[in-house]
Structure 1
């Protein structure tokens, strides 16, 4: 687990970051299906080696994930390389445990979905600013998150009434894409990013990975022309389009490949290493 004690601050010191002259890049990586294999639930050795070399070559390494900090537990092999985080699909961004950006879902939209989930009896993860609540009436949340994605720490979830006292940064309901389109008509302050057929991640409008990497880059003085984003799912679309170079994994959705500047091989076929070599960053 990534140990994070976040501190809100209105100012962050800009880091020295070489611009076009040095050709140093800020590299943003999705976790599931990009850094971490869905098959082995680990980071391939080739990816660890590639990121280690990229860091040694002067590039910056950032995480851009839909996961809240509580369940970022699978990056131990590269933790020492990471320069900052875009988490919860851009709703919470931080560097050195200092919050750069935090965007909450409007309370009325939160209650719309929570009430609907309780009435229609479907699974829902409610991500607060500090804690997470899990509604899992049929065990689907556990089956997918723990069984398929090997997520840890959901057992640390808190009661719903406790979490609803906090600002809510993300809602992850387990329902179909058709119903997603229907319910979003009643949640005008929200946007959705689906990366798994069983569920979607709903955040406040303006909170997505693309906006997250722009916000983090602006705060750190990073030229967006020298950013590179790697992803595989629908919630990666905004950052792949926003980055100077957008890279889709070989195992990515076809819709993501269609907007990417480059498609590499899959996470299990040394895709990160192959792409960094292609662009001569390692």
Structure 2
């Protein structure tokens, strides 16, 4: 059996269940795994402080684990809060994104530590993002004046039909400057070019002196494809997208069936 030294977990649809919670079995398995010296990395499209409650629950600070947020836009050593890597939006595109959101009368938001910053605090889709990440919303009277540059990501939120034309407009206007895609029908992600979980994990592996063959990566969505293909053992959840399952070395149980604990029991 291979001696794996690092476990990388996606969060939503992988580590957490439908209630966005870690099951008792998964939690206990992950604590025991870290006690044995295996490095744990929580890798998500969520903002950093949207991952913190789960990091605290799994005692990442105590065991020296890492948060990989914004789909790889930031890597933070959670034992000392040291930022090992970051990729940010060009400052010049922010006014363009803001003007586009205003023109289409939809909300734009970004993040400032533990807060979501927006001029539309009561927007129901802003509320969804706040609930998902367990973050507070800070109301802004002037988005462009209140944000602190540079930004790792912006999110335009709105009815799915509204976002179709906005996605097309921004994809053309900012081609080669940023990446534009929808993580949910009502969430339009506006992120730096080259955001990729695998590329960021390669930086972390190099810093830690760990080979990719010694890494297990587990996920369910398209944004997990690169790290699943990159890892020595790439694992898809039973509830994963079909393309993710086809790319994986192994398919575990679903996120409602403690699939993460099953991975630990099999490979560690």
TM range (shorter): 0.7 to 0.9
Tell me the residue number matched to 1:122: 106
Please name the residue that 1:204 is paired with.
Answer: 192
Write the distance in 1 (CA, Å) between the matches of 2:107 and 2:222.
20
Residue 98 of structure 2 aligns to a residue whose secondary structure is helix
In structure 1, what is the Cα distance between the partners aligned to 2:139 and 2:82?
23
1:111 partnered with 2:95: yes
Provide the C-alpha distance between the structure 1 equivalents of 2:173 and 2:41, rounded to a whole number of angstroms: 34
| 1:81-160 alignment runs, 5 A limit | 81=63, 83-95=65-77, 96-127=80-111, 132-136=116-120, 139-146=123-130, 149=132, 151-156=133-138, 160=143
**C-alpha spacing 1:132/1:139, structure 2 compared with 1 (3 Å):** closer
Q: Give secondary structure in 2 for the equivalent of 1:166.
A: coil
Partner of 1:238: 226
Larger CA deviation: 235-244 vs 165-174: 235-244
Bigger helix fraction? 2
Whether the 8 Å contact between 2:252 and 2:259 is mirrored in structure 1 is yes
TM-score by length of 1: 0.80
SS in 1 for 2:53: coil
Which one of the candidate residues 260, 266, 276 is aligned to 2:254?
Answer: 266
SS of the residue 1:268 aligns to: coil
Instruction: Give the Å deviation of 1:219.
Output: 1.7
Q: Which of 178, 183, 186 matches 2:173?
A: 186
The answer (yes or no) to whether the contact 1:128–1:167 under 8 Å persists in 2 is: no
Q: Secondary structure at the match of 2:205?
A: helix
1:41 to 17, 20, 27: 20
Where 1:266 maps in the other structure, the secondary structure is coil
Most deviating of 188-197 and 83-92:
188-197
Size of the alignment, in residue pairs? 257
1:166 alignment partner, one of 143, 149, 168: 149
Cα drift, residue 277 of structure 1: 2.2
Q: Is the 8 A contact 2:130 2:137 kept in 1?
A: no
The answer (yes or no) to whether the contact 2:121–2:137 under 8 Å persists in 1 is no
Residues in 1 aligned to 2:251 and 2:181: alpha-carbon distance in whole angstroms: 20
Q: Gaps spanning 5+ residues in structure 1: where?
A: 1-19
- Which stretches of structure 1, 4 residues or more, deviate above 6 A after TM superposition? none
SS of aligned partner of 1:72: helix
Is the CA contact 1:64–1:86 (under 8 Å) kept in the aligned structure 2?
yes
Structure 2's unaligned 5+ residue stretches are none
TM-score (normalised: structure 2): 0.83
Provide the alpha-carbon RMSD of the alignment: 2.7
Q: Report the equivalent of 1:77.
A: 57
Question: Shift of the alpha carbon at 1:64?
Answer: 0.8
The match for 1:23 is: 3
